[in-house]
Structure 1
Amino acid sequence: MDAEIQSAYQEELQRLEHTAAEIDRQLQTLETVPRYYGDDLTEQALDNIRESRRQNLSIAAVEPYFGRLDFQEAGAAASQPLYIGKVGVEDEDTGHLLVIDWRAPVASMFYSFTGGEEAASYDSPEGLIEGLIYLKRNLVIRKQILQRVVDAYVKGGDNLDVADEFLLYRLGENKDNRLRDIVSTIQAEQDKIIRSAKNTALVIQGVAGSGKTTVALHRLAYLLYQYRENIRAERMIIFAPNSMFLDYISGVLPELGVGGIQQTTFSDWALDLLEQEVELSDPAERLDTWFAIGPQRPVLDEHAPGRYKGAMHFYRYVEAYLEAFEQNFVPEQPFEAWEGTALDAATVQEWFHAEYRHYPLAKRRERVVGRIKRWLEIELEKVWDSIKRKELKKKANARLRTYLKSMPDLTPFGLYNKMFGEAADLPERIVKASNKKFKKKIVDLEDLAPLLLIRNRLHGIDSSHVFDHVVIDEAQDFSPFQVALLKEQTRGHSFSILGDLSQGIHAYQGVHAWREFLELFEEEEQAYFQLERSYRSTTEIINFANVILERSGEALTLAVPVFRSGEKVRVAQVAEPERLQTVIAAVRQLQSGAHTTVAVVARTEEESRDLHRALQQAGLDATLIHSKQREYRGGLSVLPVYLTKGLEFDAVLITDVDEAHYELSPQDAKLLYVGCTRALHELWLLHTGAPSPLIAGLDEELYTSEM
């Protein structure tokens, strides 16, 4: 066996040297051609092609490929080795593909084939191609150095669980401050999502660590490759929960050779479209309110402002108000320019409701006002006496200004504010709170989607704001109203909507069941996927976190570990006077190992600040992550538990898992579950006094008390 491994290694070494040399040669050739900055369109197009090639070759130069598939097409005399990489590379002399892009149809077999003697197949533009796979090989290449060769399948061989072994090897690598691509380890169930048809609204329920964010980003890259004639990167958009999360995922698409995709938060995008007409309420205050401890926390019900204003019944309410506003927009009285000369109301109604009906409301008003002014000019031209005409014009203009007050030129906020001022059938609590903020032109997150709906009805949807594909990450925190709004602005209703109801810690604004989104789409244009395998944390951490989730009292999807074993979860009681010193000692112990990223997690932002101050005073270089953070730096981080969602760390220390901080409730269970599932390799929990009922009395096999 050693001889076989050595032979395979030598074979791959020679192939790598040949491929790397060809990539370097092509790069050197491109570098001899200077960039073009002139005005000639043909030269600009050629320069863009060269620059795209240069970028792709630069990616390939670092890691030319990661997999090999020996495939014999039905009817062919022998199998051919196919090398799979992030980008395709062609031998310029022979035209032969040295490396096949992972997004190509034939490359799908590298991910979908899991072994067996049966025929493999893939869909090509020419139809279904069938054949036999003789070898599936994983390769680890770093900076053109071959580090590892693992045969996941050999036809006729023993084929032990080496595929899982290779996956575990990659999962065991430590994390830095960025999410990375997973092209070399995409699993069959993930690949099915990535390669789903374009005009489909995908709703993906993925447990913590299932790779759902990365899958969605790889799907963007796949769509751009597969439908490159119909889709443009600048017409795609990713909505993430916050700016720090955007920074965390910022490296994935460039690693895949994709650029130009809009990446933003819903609030930033909405405020930009609203041209900063309103100010968003402080998100820190909102978080402090909803994540307060004990009785200070508001009651979470369907009348919570975020749930109420985000629901489809409120969408229909706004639509009905706009329809009524439109129907009553034109005055029922004629416009009398002066005594004996009037434009009858029926004519103005005809212009507004029939002739200009295809225009949005603001444009219709503009057209109707223009017609009225033109009518007035014609009537004035009939008056021959210039002095009298001047007097009549002055009188008519004054009357016109009065007349047009009944057809106000409203802004989105002006009309929304007017709606709440007239609201008689909305919950009093919501109306009162809204009107109080509206006086200062301050709105909450849940007001942005209604404001954009009004904007769309007033001004229409500009083509630059229509998307080819929309990704919504952490979608359990989105509302049906937001998705319904985006649906209006998305061609073919092409969505990737991904999240985890088990991590629905913002239930005061998000959905409680995926059907709230699925009901927005026709059955034939939607698809639902469930990712249950967790690739992030060790088996010990996942099993521990699952028990917490089971105590939530809700029927939630539990994560299935990939059997990567590690250290037991550590749970320890400490006396309050010793808590800070224990935290400092624990951090030093965790950092003394191989852990690159460590998180110290507290229940609130205020407690996070206290911990950060103590760590700094102890000489530890720690970054405080707060609600307005825009960058994730890695290393040692201190943050409240509700800001950990979406991130991952080599080790996590949760400092206050006692009954005062985490009650036996669905919200606190999800909150603690989120904190625990951020850890890849080690999870430590501290509590002063009695432990939280979410971890009290656990099976001793699930944890250790040793520190």
Structure 2
Amino acid sequence: MTSPHPALEPALESVLRAERAHHEACRTALAAMVEGAAEQVVTGEDVSASGADAEVLGYRLRSRAAAMRELPPGPLFFGRLDFADDAPGHGGQHYHLGRTRITEDPAAPPLVIDWRAPVSRAFYQASARAPQGVAVRRRFGWAPGSRGDSADLTGLEDEHLDRGETRDSAIVDSAIVDSAIVAREIERPRVGPMRDIAATIQPEQDDLVRAGLADSVCVQGAPGTGKTAVGLHRAAYLLYTHPERLRRSGLLILGPNPTFLGYIAEVLPALGETGVRQSTLLGEIARHPVTGTDPADTARVKHDARMAEVLRRALYARVAAGAARDLVVAEGPARWRVSAGELAAVVDQVRAEQPPYGTGRERVRARVVRLLRDRAERRSGLRPASWVRRVERCRPVTDQLDAVWPRVRPEEILAELLTDGEALAGAADGLLDAAERAALHWPRPPRSYRSARWSAADLVLLDELAGLIEHPEGHGHIVVDEAQDLSPMECRAIARRAAFGSLTVLGDLAQGTTPWAARDWSVHLRHLGRPDAAVVALTAGFRVPGAVLALANRLLARLDVAVPAARSLRTDGELTLRPTDDVQGATVTAVRAALAHEGSIAVIAADPDLPALQRALAAAGVETAGPDTLGARVTLVPASLVKGLEYDHVIAVEPAAVVEAEERGAHRLYVVLTRAVSRLDVVHSRPLPC
């Protein structure tokens, strides 16, 4: 920021004027780039090329033009690197860093370098001890909420790494704690959706962001360590580094619920990446709407890894080599025959190869037709492809194929298991006990699978069956957030979609709240198909104040997971405990006090307690919104939906009720207490669980 020493003010103001002028030049150049991208689309539509080439070119040009138009308004650079004269490759050069590359002409030196470019890495990694050729690193301070007006550039900080003068001289585990600009950016109010952290990425985060496309990484991130931001920025980095490959194979972001997806939706567009699919796992696998619910015991069995083998057995029980009969195909007066023994041998051979069920059926068909073709050609010469196609679909072949390897739908298999006790007992023999099989049985079986009311857990099982029948389309990379809450069967659904790609797995074992939540990353990674993925722990928190984190850490002893305690790099923030006999009245008082401060306010309570709190706040004249309303001043959030969200001021109501509301309630409370960025009020009439 502007130096406190009056004698330096004129010099700093001169530098600021020069940087503002550079920003104006960048704005002009960016406007020209946007206009040029639109003109290229018009020109590209008139190119002389084959239809396929023109279509590909048109798609690329339109995508680029759309991406340029959709860049959100804001400052065009956040940092600058000045390299020493003797720096290899960049001697004497200086570069401004921003969220996207800006240039006046493709052949001209860029006005702004993309934060993902190789040269930009020094901005995040250089230090006085290892300057990496950098003489001066400059950080820019912008007015909060700036939409890119050059006048909003209000300050700067220079770190003279070549002199050993650096603002990260008080480094704690490589995290900058002495930069006013970085601190202000991290601590500014959390209003609206999640922001990118391109300006404040720390060295250990940068290592994860720039991991190679072939590498699968698991980030065990304590609250406030930026694990979600790391995953999103890694996605942006991979899209920048491998654009063609990921355009073909796809990149997918998976979040725990639509509220969370809405919260993170603007991060990738702010980094220049549009059109990336962001979804929940249920949104990816759902073959039907969720219209049914499962008791807790039933859901637990359905999500258990043993169900994969139960389903496989049930599916392949339909394959019946013993049902083979002599196959005879007539061609005029000729008769071509495959004996029952030969057909059964083909079925056994294909099954031993363990192809997907649907592939196996077609493999049996192809081999049987090959036998018929060989016999026909030995008798009367070559047969054309049209003959093969006709025989493949003829009635005798299809009838025999349906007998030995019938066509099936996942819904048929699952409905039979959930309604037919004998079928389930056969498929689950040695895997599920009688009580577990009873839990799976539908109490009111539907007339057929077509009228079944499928639960969310059923959809996971249907996806497993569908994957056994035919492999799903995969992605080149998948980012999975809040992964600790996935069940083994859900992990398998993700693994099928990343069979030929890589994963970024984000989570915190201490925040696992589902009955099947992970206790150990090694087990989860095995179900995700990445047992050798590196597990990297982030423990240095930039978001949650130290006093708030100290209270939450007292819960760790009650959680059945081994994770290192989070450590906060912030000494600001406030923690207020409000013991009371009138919880609703104290909550209203806490909200009114919070309204005196800047930023977002969340009232978080056990789900059943929320309606009464809403009525109390409404009666007191306090306007509230639900968690899906981004940017609201006061938000009422059920504890079950708060994971991954953050607010400036959190009012946690009756922690004991949060703990008692569910099986892993202590984990849920740990989540609730760590949502506060600046201040936490704990309103309680009962003893605190921590």
Q: TM-score, normalised by structure 1?
A: 0.79
2:57 equivalent to 1:62? no
What is aligned with 1:113?
126
Gaps of 5+ in 1: 121-131, 291-303, 380-395, 696-707
For the 8 Å contact 1:479–1:510, the answer to whether it is kept is yes
What is aligned with 2:101?
88
Q: Out of 562, 565, 575, which is 1:558 matched to?
A: 565
2:591 equivalent to 1:587? yes
Matches within 5 A, 1:291-310: 305-306=298-299, 308-310=301-303
Distance 1:58 1:229, change over 3 A: closer
Q: Out of 590, 604, 609, which is 2:611 matched to?
A: 609
What is aligned with 1:144?
149
What is aligned with 1:346?
341
Gaps of 5+ in 2: 169-176, 377-393, 447-451
What is aligned with 1:703?
none
Measure, in 2, the Cα distance between the counterparts of 1:38 and 1:75: 43
2:339 equivalent to 1:331? no
Q: CA deviation at 1:224?
A: 1.1
Measure, in 2, the Cα distance between the counterparts of 1:257 and 1:397: 56
What is aligned with 2:488?
480
Measure, in 1, the Cα distance between the counterparts of 2:96 and 2:109: 12
Distance 1:268 1:444, change over 3 A: same
What is aligned with 2:477?
469
Per-residue deviation, residues 112-160 of structure 1 (Å, max 9, x unmatched): 12332x452xxxxxxxxxxx21011111343132122112444215424
Q: Alignment RMSD, CA only?
A: 3.8
Higher mean alpha-carbon deviation, 329-338 vs 419-428, is at: 329-338
Q: Out of 176, 199, 202, which is 1:187 matched to?
A: 202
2:366 equivalent to 1:361? no
Per-residue deviation, residues 595-640 of structure 1 (Å, max 9, x unmatched): 2x21111112x31122223323333221245xxxx66453321122
Amino acid at match of 2:340: A
Distance 1:84 1:432, change over 3 A: same
Distance 1:35 1:676, change over 3 A: farther
Measure, in 1, the Cα distance between the counterparts of 2:659 and 2:240: 47
Q: CA deviation at 1:337?
A: 11
Higher mean alpha-carbon deviation, 261-270 vs 485-494, is at: 485-494
What is aligned with 1:598?
601
Measure, in 2, the Cα distance between the counterparts of 1:20 and 1:442: 55
Measure, in 2, the Cα distance between the counterparts of 1:191 and 1:99: 20
For the 8 Å contact 1:233–1:261, the answer to whether it is kept is no
What is aligned with 1:19?
26
Q: TM-score, normalised by structure 2?
A: 0.80
Distance 1:353 1:634, change over 3 A: farther
What is aligned with 1:387?
none
Measure, in 2, the Cα distance between the counterparts of 1:474 and 1:644: 12
For the 8 Å contact 2:549–2:566, the answer to whether it is kept is yes
Measure, in 1, the Cα distance between the counterparts of 2:482 and 2:529: 23
For the 8 Å contact 1:82–1:100, the answer to whether it is kept is yes
Per-residue deviation, residues 220-243 of structure 1 (Å, max 9, x unmatched): 111111112322277111111111
Measure, in 1, the Cα distance between the counterparts of 2:90 and 2:59: 42
Q: CA deviation at 1:435?
A: 2.0
What is aligned with 1:505?
513
2:687 equivalent to 1:691? yes
2:308 equivalent to 1:315? yes
Measure, in 2, the Cα distance between the counterparts of 1:607 and 1:309: 30
Amino acid at match of 1:461: H
Measure, in 2, the Cα distance between the counterparts of 1:87 and 1:244: 28
Q: Secondary structure at the match of 2:163?
A: coil
Amino acid at match of 2:612: D
Per-residue deviation, residues 177-223 of structure 1 (Å, max 9, x unmatched): 20111100111111111111111221110011111111111111111
Distance 1:57 1:484, change over 3 A: same
Measure, in 1, the Cα distance between the counterparts of 2:358 and 2:551: 57
Matches within 5 A, 1:645-660: 645-658=643-656
Amino acid at match of 2:549: I
Measure, in 2, the Cα distance between the counterparts of 1:167 and 1:181: 13
For the 8 Å contact 2:292–2:455, the answer to whether it is kept is yes
What is aligned with 2:386?
none
Amino acid at match of 1:511: A
Number of corresponding residues: 627
Measure, in 1, the Cα distance between the counterparts of 2:326 and 2:412: 26
For the 8 Å contact 1:612–1:638, the answer to whether it is kept is yes
Matches within 5 A, 1:420-439: 421=420, 422-424=423-425, 425=429, 426-436=432-442, 439=445
For the 8 Å contact 1:330–1:348, the answer to whether it is kept is no
Amino acid at match of 1:574: T
Measure, in 2, the Cα distance between the counterparts of 1:531 and 1:11: 38
What is aligned with 1:670?
667
For the 8 Å contact 2:323–2:403, the answer to whether it is kept is no
What is aligned with 1:639?
637
Amino acid at match of 2:100: V
Amino acid at match of 1:193: L
Q: Secondary structure at the match of 1:623?
A: coil
Measure, in 1, the Cα distance between the counterparts of 2:368 and 2:443: 38
Measure, in 2, the Cα distance between the counterparts of 1:683 and 1:15: 42
What is aligned with 2:240?
225
